[in-house]
A and B are shown apart, each in its own frame.
Chain A
């Protein structure tokens, strides 16, 4: 904001009504929330160039694997850990661990830059004092401070993650908007299953078996020409 410090909400986070909490969550997960998500394809651009993802069917399977045992599942775990972190120091310690778990340099940048952007706007609008941490940690902690329940925060977050990759695919694959939305809708159950994963999350639950997705993210670093930063 051009004038003065951050705007403090007259209603403190814990006093938000259920409707208010739902709208806050929808706002944070919206593609219009300025985290710059549209610039990142999470390596999908390289997977499409390699022919590993080429239509709605292969896109759906690719994303379903990320949700079942890949990076999208890990995002839900990090979100749960960020939600329950009791202090800025605990969040920063988780952030160092999350950075060590990053599969590639571009993945690290993708999550760091979006986390920094999310923190900046969320602190300014809601008067939080979130530290600068990777995106799912920041999102989880913000949800906690707003009194939003963990499971809905996690499933809405991972659906936004999926929707962002579908938007990237719509630009890169001959794939219609309607087909893209069908892909997102068909993954609703897989997204919803991550609510429980986020609630039960411990540090030992971080893993990723989506090897080729990680390899695609590595290959993206040398991809020319490219539309996306990752």
Chain B
């Protein structure tokens, strides 16, 4: 049995002199962070030195964008969720966005291998005037290897609250023959890659129609309330998912995406 991996990251940003800088930073275990040459925002590239996650692993991230600061979190590579020998891989991320702060959560794909057992939770707490963009791309099976998910478990929750009140919640719970479930028309019509994105911003309403025009026929967007825009997109594989997602994601970000997001 492979050894159990763990990793933690605590990171906070603060605004200083028109830029955003590290306020607090600590990481441990298999989680490392690279900080590329700073632009306006503090950008952090999270690296999992264990090379993936499997049963029994636990990865935690706590990140906070302080008042008026801008922080972008991404990952160095797609996260591989390997077959689980026993137990589940737990991935917990908690984000806080202070007044006037902007936080972009733009990880690369989570790739589920056959036999994977992943329980993931992303919770975000917003203060008034805090802006958030998040995306979560998921790839169901190593498509290039024609792998099919005949037995896997994937539990995923997104919980966004503002001033303690629920703003946007979403949960997915797939169990067993996920490949067959994805074949169902109401689920994915055989698509094996899916992305969800949420923007909480005063810009949301003006972006709805441009984002819709940028999406293919297997994508959609909706304005849940005046400043909350959600997007969901299905594609055949990770490449087509990125290709279809990047134009609308750039609009939502209102800024260049991290380098890891180039095709």
Contacts and interface: CB of A to CB of B under 8 A. Distances in A.
A53 interface: yes
A103 B196 CA distance: 11
Interface stretch (A150-158, A177-185, A212-220): A212-220
Contacts of B167: 100
A222 B233 CA distance: 16
Contacts of B217: 50
Interface string A44-77: 0001001011000010011111100110000000
Contacts of B232: 103, 211, 214-215, 218
Determine chain B's interface SS by DSSP, over half rule.
strand
Contact of B212 (A47, A58, A105, A222): A222
A210 B230 CA distance: 16
B187 interface: yes
B220 A62 contact: no
Interface residues of A, number: 40
Contacts of A214: 220, 232
Contacts of B35: none
A211 B185 contact: no
B51 interface: no
Interface residues of B, number: 35
Contacts of A213: 186-187
Given A104-B230, A219-B220, A97 B169 contact: yes
Contacts of A99: 166
A215 B220 contact: yes
Interface string B171-200: 111100000010011111101001000000
Contacts of A215: 218-220, 232-234
Nearest to B225: A105
B220 A218 contact: yes
A101 B170 contact: yes
Secondary structure class of chain A's binding surface, majority of residues = helix
7 contacts: A53-B185, A104-B222, A105-B223, A105-B225, A214-B220, A214-B232, A221-B222
Given A96-B165, A207-B171, A61 B220 contact: no
A100 B168 contact: yes
A106 interface: yes
A58 B185 CA distance: 8
Contact of A62 (B186, B222, B223): B186
B195 to A, nearest CB: 10
B186 A210 contact: yes
A180 B224 CA distance: 32
Interface in A192-230: 206-219, 221-222
A96 B168 CA distance: 10
B221 interface: yes
Contacts of A207: 155, 171-173
Contact of B185 (A69, A106, A206, A212): A212
Contacts of B191: 212
Contact of B218 (A69, A100, A101, A212): A212
A96 B171 CA distance: 16
A216 B191 CA distance: 15
Contacts of A97: 166, 169
A206 B252 CA distance: 28
Contacts of A209: 172-174, 181, 187
Nearest to A102: B224
Interface in A87-104: 96-97, 99-104
Interface in A1-38: none
Among A97, A211, A214, A218: residue with most chain B CB under 10 A: A211
A104 to B, nearest CB: 4
Given A211-B188, A219-B220, A222-B212, A69 B168 contact: no
Contact of A101 (B169, B186, B225): B169
A222 B165 CA distance: 29
Interface string B109-142: 0000000000000000000000000000000000
Given A101-B169, A104-B230, A212 B187 contact: yes
B169 A100 contact: yes
Given A100-B160, A213-B186, 13 more contacts: A61-B186, A62-B185, A64-B184, A69-B174, A69-B181, A96-B166, A103-B170, A105-B222, A209-B181, A210-B187, A211-B187, A215-B218, A218-B222
